[in-house]
Structure formats: structure tokens, C-alpha cells
């Protein structure tokens, strides 16, 4: 009976797949990416795990890159781009939550830098994304190994809205 149950599960997985129905981005052509940005952040190298997040801003658009050892069936082509806003010390990326590690980022101070923390990760400095002053959109994670969050005892501090540097 146990073998029959295992066989049924395997058949179910093979016929239906193991994916969640996440909406795919509406990208009709390869995204044009600027050569320079107003600000860019990349996930700290202190993050434990095979994952990366990069966010770069122009005055009116964000560009978002992501990688992980967990692959989606319908992996979007990065970067994803859209509009953003700063409200009450938070960066909000306007987009589908299913395609992002997070769409709401709190501006936090770490080692004298204005970093970003996903709302659910506030206080976990290993999960901060760090300003990358040498950000290259053709290789968004090139500097990840040198970007480190500094240990701190303070949970977080949030600057005035609209300030991102």
C-alpha cells in the first residue's frame, strides 16, 4: 500500500508539475537598461545561501535583478523594471509580489551607509542590501563578494522619506 501511495504521488507530480501559478511579467522585448543609476544596492555577501538581489534606480524607474539556486518554471528575464516611490522611509517597488524577494524595502543605516532591508528582515543585517557605488548593470552581482553588512546592536533606523543616500 505504501508503494502505491508513493507511485500515485509521483504520477501526480509528473502530470501536474510542482510549480506555483505566479504571474509572468509583461516584457515584450529585452529591457533597455541605463548605463548609470542614481543609486544601486546589492545583497550583502554576509547572506548565507545561494541568492542575490540587486536594485538600481533612475529618477523615475527601478531595475530589479534576482538569482537563486531555486528555479521557477517561468523564470522572468531580468531585470524587471517599473515605477517606485519613497514613502515614510520605505522604498516601494510597484510590481507583483510573486516575482520579487520583496517589494517593500525599509531604508536602514548600517556602517554609515543607507542600506535596504525587506520589511520582514528588519534587524537581520545579513539580509541587508548594500549600496554598490561601482554597480555595473551588465554584471549586477559582480561586487556582491565585497559588500558586507556590519554587525550592529541597533534594530534599525529609518531616515526621512525620500532620502536614499
The angle formed by the CA atoms of residues 83, 79 and 109, to the nearest 5 degrees, is 65
Question: Quick one: which H or E segment has residue 2?
Answer: helix 2-16
pLDDT for the residue 73: 76
Distance CA 162, CA 100 (A): 22
DSSP 140: T
pLDDT for the residue 137: 94
DSSP helix/strand/coil, 144: helix
Long-range contact set of residues 92-101: C-beta below 8 Å, sequence gap at least 24: 93/55, 93/62, 93/64, 95/25, 95/64, 96/22, 96/23, 96/25, 98/20, 98/22, 98/23, 99/22, 99/23, 99/25, 100/64, 100/66, 101/51, 101/53, 101/66
pLDDT tens-place string over residues 25-41: 333 346 789 988 999 99
pLDDT band at 152; cut points 50, 70, 90: low
The angle formed by the CA atoms of residues 118, 152 and 37, to the nearest 5 degrees, is 45
pLDDT tens-place string over residues 16-25: 332 233 233 3
Amino acid at each position: 500500500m505504501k508503494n502505491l501511495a508513493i507511485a500515485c504521488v509521483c504520477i501526480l507530480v509528473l502530470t501536474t508539475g510542482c510549480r506555483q501559478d505566479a504571474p509572468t511579467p509583461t516584457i515584450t522585448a529585452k529591457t533597455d537598461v541605463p548605463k548609470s543609476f542614481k543609486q544601486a544596492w546589492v545583497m550583502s555577501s554576509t547572506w548565507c545561501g545561494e541568492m542575490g538581489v540587486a536594485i538600481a534606480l533612475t529618477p523615475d524607474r527601478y531595475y530589479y535583478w534576482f538569482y537563486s539556486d531555486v528555479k521557477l518554471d517561468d523564470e522572468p528575464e531580468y531585470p524587471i523594471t517599473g515605477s517606485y516611490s519613497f514613502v515614510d522611509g520605505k522604498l516601494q517597488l510597484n510590481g507583483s509580489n510573486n516575482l520579487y524577494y520583496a517589494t517593500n524595502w525599509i531604508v536602514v543605516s548600517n556602517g554609515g551607509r543607507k542600506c535596504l532591508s525587506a520589511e520582514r528582515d528588519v534587524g537581520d543585517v545579513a539580509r541587508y542590501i548594500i549600496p554598490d557605488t561601482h554597480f555595473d548593470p551588465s554584471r549586477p552581482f559582480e561586487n556582491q563578494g565585497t559588500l558586507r553588512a556590519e554587525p550592529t546592536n541597533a534594530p534599525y533606523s529609518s531616515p526621512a522619506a525620500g532620502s536614499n543616500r
